[in-house]
Chain A
Amino acid sequence: MNWLTSFFVWMGEFFGNGANWSGPGGIPMRLLEHLEFSALALLLAVLLAVPLGLAIGHTGRGEVLIVVSANLARALPTLGLLVMFVLLLGTASIWPVIIPLVLLSVPPILVNTFEGIKGVDPELRDAAYGMGLRGGQVLGRVLVPVALPLILLGCRLSAIQVVATTTVAAYTGLGGLGRYVIDGFATKDYASVVGGSVLIVLFALVVQLLFALAQRVTVSPGVSQRVNVR
């Protein structure tokens, strides 16, 4: 159990060190940075992918885009993409790093939004039009609420991806919790590596939890079939 004891020793060293709790390299700061970059990338991805997925799913035009993006996104190596953008655009701002982050998080949202909308029972769509809803109303009042579980799933998968990639992006100079891991590894400061890793894992789990809660709150019980009223 040698590694287990060293794990706890390193944890104690990292979290017990008062210097790690303040200043620009402190845990609160790094946590905020990580949150900021992840949230920014995810937000941009949502703003891009959800409308696009809705449009393609609703109109049925441009489905090729979905297939290509789904397969390509999974195959593209994140580290390679990050390095490529940084070599191309330099490190003067955070954008050379944020752009690949966004690119990588678009596909899960796009694909799931599309599948969600397309998977809605055609009878339901038919009934909605038949009752006199207009195109936009059919989308907004019927298709989106019914497809919401899948749309949120896409966002959740994307969030997982963004949190992980933001960590990797520390390698190319981005701030955030990944710094502890990357810098610690480079300087053989294992307390920093272990502490940072634990923080990132916790961060990822909290994000998961938040999405699970959001799902519970926003998806109609009639869709999730999770009610037992009366």
Chain B
Amino acid sequence: MGDGPPSLWEWIGRNWDTGRAGSIKDLLIDHLTMSLVPILFALIVALPLGLACVRWRWLYQPASGLMNIVYALPSLPVFMLLISVTGLSQTTVIIPLAFYGVAVLLPAVVGGLDSVPDHVRQSAVAMGFSPLRRLLAVELPIAVPVVLAGLRVVAVSSISLVSVGALIGQGGLGGLFTRAYQNPFMPPVIVGIVLIVLLALIADGLLVLAQRVLTPWVRVRKGVAS
């Protein structure tokens, strides 16, 4: 190799798996962990919360108001404030992302359940479904497309937001950006952006696929949600 800066492909080859911390492969794995955990958390929290909001209407106004506020909080200062509680760990990045996820998913769950036509609900009642059976067999399946649309937004934004964590040393692939900035050099930036966008597209594609499988009766809508 000469003395000049390495080309993009060279750089990738040299840094993919160095065996030391901070190789691209390591960062990729970190990135996946830090984005997948919040997505799962959001789903696990937002589903029952959404059900509760539909069951007890008065709950929705304050819950969604609170979530609106949570959603408006910029990530970096929230990471910073959390450092004194959870330290410079992945948890510090995961917690805020999980809450953003809930903020996006809650309206989707409520909207999805609201999208169940009243006549469908009524006829399920008339056929003698118990409330729980009705929920599982009728209402949730109908709500799936709207919920999944929300989940797609959560997945894509979580994956891209993780990179901000790099500013506190926990950003997965975002680490490539800080590295590139401190030691001005373009290839890591390109690799970081491309990998993150790719991850996002793959996650999005998987969720679209999931929707096809779960709700064969709905044609997949174009990927535009608020």
So, do A and B actually touch in the complex, CB under 8 Å?
A: yes
Q: Please list the residues of chain A having a beta carbon within 8 angstroms of any beta carbon in chain B.
A: 3, 6-7, 66-67, 70-72, 74-84, 86-88, 108, 111-112, 115, 153, 157, 160, 163-164, 167-168, 171-172, 178, 181-182, 185, 190, 193-194, 196-198, 200-201, 204-205, 207-208
Whole-angstrom distance between the alpha carbons of A75 and B166 in the complex? 17
**Bound Cα distance A175, B13 (Å):** 37
5 intermolecular pairs with C-beta atoms under 8 Å apart: A3-B84, A7-B84, A108-B226, A185-B168, A205-B72
The interface residues of chain A lying within 8 Å CB-to-CB of B204 are 71, 75
Given contacts A79-B171, A80-B192, A87-B189, contact A197 B81 (CB under 8 A): yes
Within the complex, which residue of A67, A83, A205 is in contact with B223, where a contact is CB–CB below 8 Å?
Answer: A67
Are A167 and B77 in contact, CB atoms less than 8 angstroms apart?
A: yes
Do A77 and B224 form a contact, CB below 8 Å, given A164-B74, A193-B80, A194-B80? no
The 8 A CB mask of B192-204 against A (1 = contact, 0 = none) is 1100110011001
Question: What is the bound-complex CA distance between A67 and B115, given in angstroms?
Answer: 23
- Tally of A-B Cβ pairs under 8 angstroms: 147
**Which residue in A6, A77, A112 is a CB contact (below 8 Å) of B160?**
A77
CB A9 to nearest CB in B, in angstroms, measures 10
Say whether A201 contacts B164, CB under 8 Å: no
- Report Cα–Cα, A193/B81, bound state, in Å: 8
Q: With a CB–CB cut-off of 8 A, which chain A residues contact B174?
A: 77, 79-80
What CA separation (Å) do A76 and B225 show in the bound complex? 16
Q: B39-47, B48-56, B130-138, B179-187: which lies at the A interface?
A: B179-187
Please indicate which of the listed interface residues A77, A81, A178 has the most CB atoms of chain B within 10 Å of its own CB.
A77
B177, A160: Cβ atoms closer than 8 Å: no
Closest chain A CB from B31 CB (angstroms): 10
Q: Does B89 contact A (CB under 8 A)?
A: no
Is B181 in contact with A171, judged by CB distance below 8 angstroms?
Answer: yes
Q: Contacts A196-B77, A198-B77 hold; do A79 and B177 have CB atoms under 8 A apart?
A: yes
Q: Of A164, A171, A194, which contacts B75 at CB under 8 A?
A: A164
Q: For the complex, give the distance between the alpha carbons of A77 and B184 in Å.
A: 18
Min CB distance A227 to B, Å, is: 18
Interface of A is mostly: helix
A2: nearest residue on chain B (CB-CB)? Answer: B84
Q: How far is the CA of A190 from the CA of B82 in the complex (A)?
A: 12
**B78 contacts partner chain A, Cβ-Cβ < 8 Å:** yes
CB of A189 to closest CB in B, whole Å? 12
Does B93 interact with chain A (Cβ within 8 Å)? no
Contact between chains at B180 and A83 (CB < 8 Å): yes
Q: Smallest CB-CB separation from A162: which chain B residue?
A: B74
A74 lies within 8 A of B224 (CB): no
- CB of A205 within 8 A of CB of B69, answer yes
In angstroms, Cα B74 to Cα A163, docked, is 7
Q: For A172, what are the chain B residues with a Cβ–Cβ distance below 8 Å?
A: 181
The answer for the CA separation of A70 and B204 in the assembled complex, in Å, is 13
Task: For B85, list chain A residues within 8 Å (CB).
Answer: 3
Which B55-103 residues sit within 8 Å CB-CB of chain A?
68-69, 71-78, 80-81, 83-85
Residues of A near B159 (CB, < 8 A) are 75
